[in-house]
Chain A
Amino acid sequence: MNLAVRCQNLVKVYDTGGQKVTALNGINLDIIAGQLMMLVGPSGCGKTTLISVIAGILDQDEGLCELFGENLLAMRSKDKLNFRAKNIGFVFQAFNLLPSLNAAENVSIPLIINGMKRAEAERKAITLLEQVGLGARWKSLPSQLSGGQQQRVAIARALVHNPRLIVCDEPTSALDHETGRNVMKLLKDVALHKDRTLVIVTHDARIFDFADRIAEMDDGHIVEVQDKREQG
C-alpha cells in the first residue's frame, strides 16, 4: 500500500491580531495513493488549513508532512515551487479561472508554468477539454460558461499536467445537486487512477458516496477515518 501523503503531529497556529488560533492541533493522517480521500467537518475545523499544508502552499508550525515521501518543509523555496508545479493540481470552490483567458488558455496554464511552449500547451489543453466534454467550447471565456462548465474547465486545468495529487476545495458547493454529482463523477472517472490521488475538502454530504475514505475533522483534530470501501 503506497502512501501519497503522510501527516504526523501537524500543528498550525494562526496569530490573528495577538490572538492565537490553533487550526491544526496534532493531525495524524495517511492518504493512500490512488484513492479519493474526503476531509469533512464543520466550518473552522481546519480542513482548508490541512489541504493547504498538504499541497505545500502553507507551512506547518510543527510536525511532519510528507508528499510522495518528500518533506516539503525541508525543501528550498524554488524546489518546492517546481515540485508543486509538477505534482499537484488544484480545483477550487469558486473555480478561480482567469476571466480574461479562454477555456483552453486557462487549462494550458500549468503546462506553461512547467515550461511547455504556448501553442503545444493549448493543443494539449483542447484535447483535455474534449475529455471533460467541453471540446467545442475551448474558445469560450469563463463568463460565457455555466458554473458546471467552469468547474469542468477547472478540473481539466488540474489534470492537464498529469499531477500525482489533486486537491479540491469544496468543488461542488457552488453547484446544484445534479451538476455537483456530475462533477464528482467526472473527477472520479477521469482524474482518479492508481497513480493519482484525490483529496477533497467538502461539507456536502450528498457526495460522500464518491469517497474511498473519509476523514472527519473537528477543532483541529482528525476525529475519525472511515474506509468506505470496507463498509461497501
Chain B
Amino acid sequence: MNHIALKMLMGDTGKYIGIVMGLTFASLIMTQQPAIFLGIMSRTYSFITDVGLPDIWVIDPKVQFVDDIKPMQDTELYRVRGISGVEWAMPMYKGLLKARLLDGTFQTCNVVGLDDATLIGGPPVMLEGKIDDLRRSDSVIVDIDGASEKLGKPSLIPGGKPIPLKIGDNLELNDRRAIVVGIAKVTRTFQSQPVIYTTYSRAKSYAPKERKLLSFVLVKAKKGQDLVELTRRIRESTGLAAYTQADFKTLTYEYFMHNTGIPINFGTSVLLGFIVGAAIAGQTFYNFTLGNIMQFGVLKAMGTSNWILLRMILLQAVLVGSIGYGLGVGLTALFGFAMRHTILAFKFPWQLLLFSGAGISLICAFAAIISILKVIRLEPAIVFKG
C-alpha cells in the first residue's frame, strides 16, 4: 500500500508543495538561527581559541569573561612561574586602545601584547609578513578584517571602500607610532574590532599609564601534569583565578548566556520557527488528510486495517519531513557558504543537524498523529454518504 500512500500524497501537487514548504521553512529557521547564535557565541571566546598554545589562563579572580580585563601586577607572573608543574608562564596584555587613522578619525582596537622573547600567543595565521618582525621597532601586526575595513585608509573616491592597510603603513596608537609589519588572519571577535598584535613591552607603552597592566598569565603545564590539579595549586599559591582553556571558554560563554539577551532573542526566533512550521505543516498535512478522508474511508470499507492506514500516513509524514528537512538544512548550508567571507557569525556543527532533525520529527509526529486520529476514528460507512 506504500505506493498508494505516496501517489495520494504527490497527486495533489499544491498541497504536497505546501506541506514540504512549511517543513522547509521550519527546518531553515531551526538551523539557520541557531547557527548564527552559535557563531556569535563562539566569537565570545574566539580570542582564547586563537591563542591556543597555553594550557592554563591565570587571571584576576574578579574577571567574568575574556574581555573583562582586570589587570594584575607584573610580579604575579614570577609567582606563577615558581609553582611546581609549570613548564613556562608568559605575560599577555589585552586592552582596548584608540588608533588614530590617516583621515584623523579614531578607531577602537583590541591591542594584544605578546611576551617579548617568545611571542607566545601570537596570531594563528600570518597572511603577510612574519611574527618575528614584531621584534623590529614600533612594529605591529594587524588582522586582515581590521586592515581591510575599519583601519583602512580613506578611499580616493568619495563613499568608496577603504584602501586596505599594507605592510609599511603607519598608525598612531596613543600618540605613538606603530608600523604595520604583518597582516594576520584571526577569528572575528564578538565586538568585531580590529586586532593589533605587538610585544608586551610595546603594548604597555601604548597603553595609558597604570600601575597594573598584566592582563593574563599564559601557562604551559609540564608533560603529564594534571591540569585540574595544577589550576588548584595556582589558585592556592597566588590567590588568582586559574582556568584551563576549556574552562575559560565556558566561563566566557556562560557570562554571555546569563548576562545578555542573545540567547532569548535567538531562542525566540527558533521557537517561533518551530511553532510557525508546526502550524503550517501540521495544518496543511491535516487538511490534506481531511481532503482525502473519503479515499481513506473507501480503503477502510474495502478491508484496509487501521494499522496499514497508520503506516500509510506515517510514510507520507516521513517523506515530507525528510524532504522539508533536507531542503531547510541545505538552504542553511548554502546561506552559511554564501556568508563565509562576511561579518556574519555562522557555526554549523553536526549537533545542529540533530537538533533541527528532532524539531522536524516532532512537527511531523504532531501532524501525523492528528491525521491518524482522524482516520482511525473514521467510520467506513462514510463512503455511502455521497
Contacts and interface: CB of A to CB of B under 8 A. Distances in A.
Interface in B358-386: 379-381, 383-386
A112 B8 CA distance: 16
B352 interface: no
A58 interface: yes
Chain A contact patch, size range:
20 to 34
B384 A169 contact: yes
B294 A90 contact: no
A138 interface: no
A221 B247 CA distance: 84
A57 B384 CA distance: 10
Given A90-B383, A105-B4, A118-B3, A98 B295 contact: yes
A113 interface: yes
Interface string A87-101: 010101110101111
B304 A113 contact: yes
Interface stretch (A3-11, A66-74, A78-86, A126-134): A78-86
Contacts of A85: 302-304
B302 A84 contact: yes
Contact of B295 (A52, A78, A96): A96
Interface in A32-90: 48-49, 51-52, 55, 57-58, 78, 81-82, 84-86, 88, 90
Given A96-B298, A112-B4, A118-B3, A81 B384 contact: no
A58 B300 CA distance: 12
B136 interface: no
A103 interface: no
Contact of A82 (B4, B303, B381): B303
Contacts of A57: 300-301, 379-381, 383
A81 B303 CA distance: 5
B303 A96 contact: no
A132 B11 CA distance: 26
B381 A58 contact: yes
A100 B8 contact: yes
A109 B4 contact: yes
A110 interface: yes
Nearest to A170: B386
Interface string B281-307: 000000000000011001111111100
Given A51-B384, A57-B381, A57-B383, A98 B304 contact: no
Contacts of A118: 3
Given A109-B302, A113-B302, 20 more contacts: A48-B385, A52-B381, A52-B384, A58-B379, A81-B305, A85-B302, A90-B383, A92-B384, A93-B386, A94-B386, A96-B383, A98-B295, A98-B298, A100-B10, A101-B4, A109-B4, A110-B302, A113-B303, A114-B303, A118-B3
Interface of A: 48-49, 51-52, 55, 57-58, 78, 81-82, 84-86, 88, 90, 92-94, 96, 98-101, 105, 109-110, 112-114, 118, 169
8 contacts: A58-B380, A81-B303, A81-B304, A93-B384, A96-B298, A105-B7, A113-B302, A169-B383
The 7 closest A-B pairs by CB, nearest first: A100-B11, A85-B303, A57-B380, A52-B381, A58-B381, A84-B303, A100-B7
